[in-house]
Every structure is written in structure tokens, then in C-alpha cells.
């Protein structure tokens, strides 16, 4: 369990659990349904600032309540490390 509430949109969503660890997958881990599409306004922002030739596959949405914690970390599991992260 994490202190940050999160969801995803796009063809892939970022998930984690004790059995399989961190990963991207095409469906919600509880409902089994596909993630909703990335909203057009976010795709437009991606095109404006990323300078990357491909559309994003995943959009992680985090909600940090006052008691949420985020430790220092690095994302190193990406296949293509040239793909930007727009935050």
C-alpha cells in the first residue's frame, strides 16, 4: 500500500504490487479494464514540450494528500531512456 493515491490513462498504466513489483500494464490491476485514453489537452501539452516523435503510452496521475510521502527515487525501468518524462 502506498500513501499516494494514483491512477493512469493511456494504453499502459504504471502499477506495483508485492508479487510482481513495479511495471506498466494495459489494464487496471483490480477491475481488469483498460485505462482510459489520455485527454487531448495532455496530448497537446506533450506535443508542445516533449520534442519526442512518438505519443506517450502512459500518463500517471498522482494525488498527494497532506500525509502522503514520496521518498527519493529514480525511474530506471524504461526501455527507451531517450523518451522524456513530462511532469
Mean pLDDT of 42-61: 94
List domains and CATH numbers for the chain.
Answer: 1-87 (2.60.120.590)
pLDDT digits (tens, 9 = 90+) for 24-51: 999 999 999 999 999 999 999 999 999 9
Residue 76 predicted with pLDDT over 80: no
More confident residue, 50 or 85: 50
Q: What is the dihedral of CA 37, 19, 80, 4, to 10 degrees?
A: 60
Beta bridge partners of 62: 6
pTM, two decimal places: 0.80
Amino acid at each position: 500500500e502506498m500513501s499516494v493515491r494514483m491512477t493512469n490513462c493511456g494504453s499502459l498504466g504504471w502499477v506495483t504490487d508485492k508479487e510482481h513489483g513495479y511495471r506498466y500494464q494495459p489494464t487496471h490491476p483490480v477491475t481488469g479494464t483498460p485505462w482510459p485514453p489520455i485527454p487531448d489537452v495532455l496530448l497537446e501539452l506533450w506535443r508542445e514540450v516533449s520534442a519526442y516523435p512518438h505519443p506517450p503510452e502512459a500518463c500517471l496521475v498522482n494525488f498527494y494528500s497532506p500525509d502522503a510521502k514520496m521518498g527519493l527515487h529514480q525511474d530506471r525501468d524504461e526501455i527507451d531512456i531517450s523518451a522524456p518524462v513530462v511532469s
